[in-house]
Amino acid sequence: MNDPDCCTQEPTVFEADPEQDARLAQLFKALGHPHRVHIVRFLLAHQVCFAGEIADQLPIAASTVSQHLSKLKSAGLIKGEVDGPRRCYCVEPSVIEALKALVGEL
């Protein structure tokens, strides 16, 4: 089970980047609920949608969906705009790419 080579190798140089660590933690926290992950996947698949359509995808109250959307928006993963009585949400592609890059560096 244990890899005996892992303890005998010379340690590599590690330089922490507190800003990147904090950003990754913030994004993980925003994605820390299955419903929020589902919302992001839904928006990625549909590019743009309205909040009502998002609420139809989940077995929770629309007000709870709104709270999840707010957390995703605060983290910058999604953006939204008001279109009359509706709010239109979509993913923020640059943040999704940054998330992928930060995870890839782990």
What CATH number does the domain containing 29 carry?
A: 1.10.10.10
**What's residue 13's pLDDT?**
75
By CB atoms closer than 10 A (0-12, 13-18, 19+), residue 33 is middle
Residue 80 has pLDDT above 90, yes or no: no
Q: What is the pLDDT of residue 6?
A: 65
Summary mean pLDDT of the chain: 87
pLDDT-derived band of residue 98, with 50, 70 and 90 as boundaries?
Answer: very high
Inter-residue contact 27 to 75 (CB < 8 Å):
yes
For 19-44, write each residue's pLDDT tens digit.
999 999 999 999 999 999 999 999 99
Pairing type for strands 49-50 and 78-83 reads: unpaired
| Confidence at residue 57, expressed as pLDDT on a 0 to 100 scale | 85
**Number of structural domains the chain divides into:** 1
What is the pLDDT averaged over residues 54-80? Answer: 92
* 84's tokens: 């009359």
Give domain status of residue 8, yes or no. Answer: no
The residue segments making up the domain with residue 55 are: 20-104
pLDDT, position 27: 96
- Calculate the CA dihedral of residues 47, 48, 51, 52 and round it to 10 degrees: -90
pLDDT band of residue 10 (cuts 50, 70, 90) is confident
Residue 4 lies in a domain: no
